[in-house]
Amino acid sequence: MTAAIDLFIEEARAVSVVDAAVSLGIVGPSFKGNHAGPCPVCQGKDRFAISSIKGAWNCRNCGIGGKDGISLVAHAGHIDVRSRAGFLAACAEVIGKPLPDEAERETEEQRAERRKRIEAQKAKNEAAAADREKQDNAYRDREVKQSRGLFFGASADPHADVAAYLKARTSYDMPAEVFAYLRSNARCTYWHGRDERGHEIAHYTGVAMIAPFVDPAGQVTGCHQTWIDMRCEPKFRPDLGTDARGDPLPTKKMRGTKRGSLIPLFGLMSSTRWVGGEGIENGLSIAGAEKFRADTFYFAAGDLGNLCGPADPKSRFVHPDLTKADKNGRQRRMMIAGPEPKVDQAPDEAMQAADHVTELVLLADGDSEVIFTAAAMARAEKRLTRDGRTVETWWPPVGMDFSALMTRY
C-alpha cells in the first residue's frame, strides 16, 4: 500500500456520518439531533435514522447501520465494501475525489454486479410503491362504501333532536326537503381508540345528524356526522371526553372522500344561484334568512380547505402579529397560506361550482382568525370565478359566525 492511498483512506475515514448525510441531501447543512426518514435504498417513511449525537446511521428495514461516512455512502450507492476495490470506491465517493492512480479499482465485473444490485432494488421499491397504492385505493374504496352505507342507512324522517338542533342553531324551522339531505340516526356509534386486539372502541352512542358529501356528478362520496345532545347548551353537542393530548374529542366526523364534493343543504344543484360556506349551520342560517329561496342551492363545504382550495406557495405571507413556537421553542412569525390559488388544481382538490352557476355567494366564518380567513376567502373567490359568473363573499360581524348572529349563541 502506498502512502498516497493511506492518506486517501484516512481522509475518507474522517468524514462523519452527518457530513456524508449532508452531501447525500438526506439532512440539511445545519442538522443536529435525530433524523428519521426514508432509507436511500429501501425508502419507506421513517425507518432510516441518523443521529448527530451518536454519530451513527441505521436502517431498520435493511437491518444495517454504521458509524462513519464511508459506510453510509456505500449503503446509499449499493457499493459492496467487503472487497478492497469496493471499499476504495466508497472512499472516493465520500470525499468526492478520484482514486489515486495506483489504487486497486472495481473490475468491470464488480461494477456490473453493483449496477445489477441497484436495478434489483429499484424494481423492489417500485413493486412496494405499487402495492401501497393498491392498499390505499382499497382503503379509500372501503371508506366510501361504508360512508355511503351510513348515509343511506339513516332516516329522512327527522329525529326530534335533529330538528330541534337545527332550529336552535339557526333560529329557523327547517322545511322537510332539508331532511332529505340531513338525515338522522338515533343510535349512531362514535368510534374512538383501539383495544389491545386492535379493534376500534365504541366510545359513545347517541343521536347524530348524517349528511352526504356529493361529487359534481351527484354521487355520494362520503358522509358528515354531527352528534347532538340537546341538554348541552349553547352548541348542543355531547361532551365526549378528551383525547390522549387532553383536547376535547370533536363532535363532528367526516368519512369517505370530501375533497371535490360538497354537502347539499337545500334546493337543487341545477340552480344558477349557489350559496354556501364551511359549515352546515351557517349555510342554513342564511337559507333561513333568505326564506329558503326556490331559485337557490344552499351547500356546505365541510371545512375551509375544501371550500377555498390549496394556495399557490408563492403567495404565502408572514402574519403581521401572530407567532408560533418552533421545534426549539423559539417564537417565530406565523406563515399564512396566501390569497392566490395553486395553479393547475385538479377538480378533486376542493369543491367545485357547476358550470351553469351564474351567481355564487360564499359565506365566511367570522369566528376564525380574520387575516387567515380573508386570505382563504380571496383564494376561493379567485378559484371559482368564471366569465359570466359573479362571486362574492359575505362576512358576518367580527368575532361571530352567521349561526351565532341569528341565535346570539
Residues of the shown chain interacting with Zn ion in the complex, contacts defined by CB under 5 A = 39, 41-42, 59, 61-62
Q: How far apart are CA 272 and CA 360, in angstroms?
A: 8
| Beta carbon of residue 59, minimum distance to Zn ion (angstroms, whole number) | 3
Cβ–Cβ < 8 Å for 40, 75:
yes
Cβ–Cβ < 8 Å for 333, 372:
no
In the bound state with Zn ion, the residue whose beta carbon lies nearer, of 49 and 400, is 49
Q: How far apart are CA 66 and CA 56, in angstroms?
A: 6
The closest alpha carbon to 382, from 368, 392, 373, belongs to 392
Pairing verdict, β 359-363 and 64-66? unpaired
| Beta carbon of residue 44, minimum distance to Zn ion (angstroms, whole number) | 7
| Beta carbon of residue 196, minimum distance to Zn ion (angstroms, whole number) | 30
In the bound state with Zn ion, the residue whose beta carbon lies nearer, of 62 and 163, is 62
What is the Cβ-side half-sphere exposure of residue 149, based on CA atoms within 13 angstroms? 7
In the bound state with Zn ion, the residue whose beta carbon lies nearer, of 112 and 128, is 128
AA identity, residue 318 = V
| Beta carbon of residue 116, minimum distance to Zn ion (angstroms, whole number) | 18
Phi first, then psi: what are they for 264, rounded to 5°? Answer: -75, 140
Task: Count the residues in the chain.
Answer: 409
In the bound state with Zn ion, the residue whose beta carbon lies nearer, of 59 and 378, is 59
| Beta carbon of residue 42, minimum distance to Zn ion (angstroms, whole number) | 3
In the bound state with Zn ion, the residue whose beta carbon lies nearer, of 62 and 370, is 62
In the bound state with Zn ion, the residue whose beta carbon lies nearer, of 64 and 99, is 64
Q: How far apart are CA 187 and CA 105, in angstroms?
A: 73
In the bound state with Zn ion, the residue whose beta carbon lies nearer, of 39 and 91, is 39
What is the Cβ-side half-sphere exposure of residue 400, based on CA atoms within 13 angstroms? 14
Q: How far apart are CA 171 and CA 288, in angstroms?
A: 8
Q: How many CB atoms lie within 10 A of CB 1?
A: 10
DSSP 8-state assignment for residue 99: P
Angle at 220 between CA 218 and CA 226, to 5 degrees: 125
| Beta carbon of residue 55, minimum distance to Zn ion (angstroms, whole number) | 19
Cell of 304: 375551509
For Zn ion, the nearest residue by Cβ is 39
In the bound state with Zn ion, the residue whose beta carbon lies nearer, of 56 and 88, is 56
In the bound state with Zn ion, the residue whose beta carbon lies nearer, of 41 and 85, is 41
| Beta carbon of residue 182, minimum distance to Zn ion (angstroms, whole number) | 49
| Beta carbon of residue 198, minimum distance to Zn ion (angstroms, whole number) | 26
The closest alpha carbon to 358, from 378, 386, 381, belongs to 386
| Beta carbon of residue 64, minimum distance to Zn ion (angstroms, whole number) | 7
Nearby residues of 404 by Cβ (< 8 Å), 6 or more positions away? 367, 396
